[in-house]
Amino acid sequence: MKDIAIDFNSTSSIEKGIEAIKDYLKSHALVIGNSNYVITEFEFYIMTPENGVHHDQYTYKHERHLTKGKLFLHASGLDITFGNDTTYAGVLLRGAIKLSSIDTPTEDAIEKYINGPINLADELVHQIDIENGITIGFQPVNLENISFVDTWGPRVGLKKGKFEGYKNFIDRNLRYLRSLSPETMLRIDPEKKIKIKKIVTV
């Protein structure tokens, strides 16, 4: 993902960059040691300079968001940054499936579904073994044998009126959700404890 270059100077180029990151996350697994995760839900946050084309003040203004390809752990979860010297940008990881293998996995390879940004951040951080060392990175994965329904929708939990111009961003489709089939979810979660905030399309 670090190799994806985004031009933040126009709306169309930002949308192109968002699509590129989305496609990357759809075709790669986050591998932490021996654990494999495919990100199934994520949100985009981008704040160009005040006179820029995407001045979204829901975005974290941390100096790490001015960099690209870094992890940022915060009170709401875990971001992967993709900003530059003047633009704060990050993708919030909200959900994932854990796979037993990334060698052309089937739905039987799904070990569990991690729902919610805090739960996912906790899951990923707990895979890090500081005593024995650990490698973290993305690896290509072929997911053609796992059925998803992919949907764009508004981000979750944003407060209305938080800043002037919030209406330009609060309902914008910057959340991407990859839903598994009901049959697969029932196998993973037979007691139906996982409550995913659905995206309603019209």
Considering its fold, how many domains does the chain have in total? Answer: 1
198 belongs to a structural domain: no
pLDDT, tens only, 3-46:
888 999 999 999 999 999 999 999 999 999 899 999 999 999 99
Question: Is 50 exceeded by the pLDDT of residue 122?
Answer: yes
Beta partners for residue 133, in sequence order = none
> Does residue 170 fall inside a structural domain?
yes
Q: Would you say residue 197 lies in a domain?
A: no
The percentage of the chain sitting over the pLDDT mark of 70, rounded to a whole number, equals 99
List, in order, residues 6 or more apart from 32 with CB less than 8 Å away: 124, 127, 128, 134, 135, 136
CATH number, domain with residue 18: 3.10.300
Tell me the DSSP string of 105-158. --GGGEEEEEESHHHHHHHHHTT--TTT---EEEEE---TTS-EEEEEEEPSSP
Mean pLDDT computed over 128-151: 90
The answer to whether position 195 is within a domain reads no
pLDDT, tens digit, 9 for 90 and up, residues 38-96: 999 999 999 999 878 999 999 999 999 999 999 999 999 999 999 999 999 999 999 99
Q: Is residue 6 part of a domain?
A: no
194 occurs within a structural domain: no
Domain of 170, in residue numbers: 11-188
Does the model's pTM come out above 0.85?
yes
pLDDT at residue 167 greater than cutoff 50: yes
